[in-house]
Amino acid sequence: MPGERVDARELAGRFFAAHGRPPRISRAPGRVNLIGEHTDYNDGFVMPAALRFRALTAWAPRADRIVAARSEGHGGERRLDLDAPAPARGDWSDYAFGVALALEKAGHRLVGADLEISGDVPAGAGLSSSAALEVSVGHALLSAAGLPVDKIALAKACQRAENDYVGMRCGIMDQYVSCRGVAGAALLIDCRSLEARPVALPADVRIVVANSMVKHAHAGGEYNSRREACEEGVRRLRPRLGPIAALRDVSPQALESAGDALDEVVRRRCRHVATENARVLATEAALARGDAAQAGRLMAASHASMRDDYEITCPEIDALVEVAASLPGVFGSRMTGGGFGGCTVSLVEAARADEIMARIAEGYRARTGIDATIFACTPADGVGEVPV
Ligand code: GLA
């Protein structure tokens, strides 16, 4: 996955040097999730925003059916023959080739292409560097074949690549917002209907992201086991609650009434999801009436639920949230993304953002000895082509 700061012109130059022809360039952003964690694969609600950090894929079609991809940050060219697909190798190219194969499987007839991939989404930080890579490659491959880009279909193909080829059973949030992000707003996504609406932030509020520098690695492992607990919850609740298809259909009250059908751990996992879905909708309502304080309280409750019920935080992340939450001008703070490290997201008073960022860094260093990377962000647009 990319992690380097290369601009589109530099990347085009690199492509030209390698292939002797000018490329076009597809760009897809990483994301930060304001609230709604581990709800997407339960058919629930999420509220992410696309970031300025992005993956870039420089591309030009080939006359054959070979996808030849290079990622300078990761050394060496990898090749995929669309007519003789090989299994995943366990490196960055799986994200690119998984998308090519998922698009073909969805009925798109691709052509071969040369790809040069780069980007600046920090890897392993919970900011969706893999989704950014997938979506930029998907956009590149569809465009190289002269096919239209249906953004929801592209998001689905990218999710399928990760589920089926990489082996990470992620939901659709990251790929979706990387495709359909809206500059200046977060997106409320209904992960069942796949409809989304923009959520504007009050003008005097900023989003601050702080990287704990603890790298997560949740392909497989803990992430998939959380998903299994949710599935088990649905299976065991169904006889009690009727024809529920997913935890989306279970309110916190219904769960309370039928909770004795579940063992203790599964009950807590389900409680996180049921209460988190309710918090996402409440956050949307709070932001719509300009009530950043209430949105902040909901973020704090989300963090507590991830820490205590879903058990996906870690001591450093908890410290980072506690430091931020103790500062004047911070409405709320929580971990963002899949968990076990990565970043926190805080809603803060715009006028005090700089001071708050400095104090978060200071407080986190004092508690952990780690230097966090901290930035304020403005939501960006989803996937598109950048002029070279
Ligand atoms: C990862 C996954 C998403 C989502 C989040 C948790 O980012 O890719 O689908 O499940 O974790 O909210």
Q: Is the CB of 342 under 6 A from ligand 1?
A: no
The mean pLDDT value for 362-375 works out to 98
Q: How confident is the model at residue 6 (pLDDT cuts 50, 70, 90)?
A: confident
Q: Compute the mean pLDDT over every residue in the chain, rounded to the nearest whole number.
A: 96
> For residue 1, what pLDDT is reported?
38
Ligand 1 atom nearest 172 alpha carbon? 9
Per-residue pLDDT reduced to its tens digit, 294-335: 999 999 999 999 999 999 999 999 999 999 999 999 999 999
Q: How confident is the model at residue 216 (pLDDT cuts 50, 70, 90)?
A: confident
| Residues linked to residue 78 through DSSP beta bridges, in sequence order | 69
Q: Is the confidence at residue 3, as pLDDT, over 90?
A: no
Helix or strand (DSSP H, E) at 206: strand 205-211
Q: Which residue is associated with the tokens 């076009």?
A: 24
Q: Is the CB of 382 under 6 A from ligand 1?
A: no
Q: Do the Cβ atoms of 273 and 38 come closer than 8 Å? A: yes
User: Whole-angstrom Cα distance, residue 83 to residue 86?
Assistant: 10
91 labelled catalytic: no
Q: Is the CB of 162 under 6 A from ligand 1?
A: no
Q: How far is the CA of 12 from the centre of ligand 1 (A)?
A: 32
Q: Is the confidence at residue 293, as pLDDT, over 50?
A: yes
Domains by residue range for the chain, with CATH: 8-199 (3.30.230.10)
User: Whole-angstrom Cα distance, residue 108 to residue 100?
Assistant: 9
Q: How far is the CA of 38 from the centre of ligand 1 (A)?
A: 6
Q: Is the confidence at residue 73, as pLDDT, over 90?
A: no
Q: How far is the CA of 343 from the centre of ligand 1 (A)?
A: 13
The mean pLDDT value for 213-230 works out to 84
**Encoded tokens for 276:** 């988190």
* 185-190/45-46 β-pairing: antiparallel
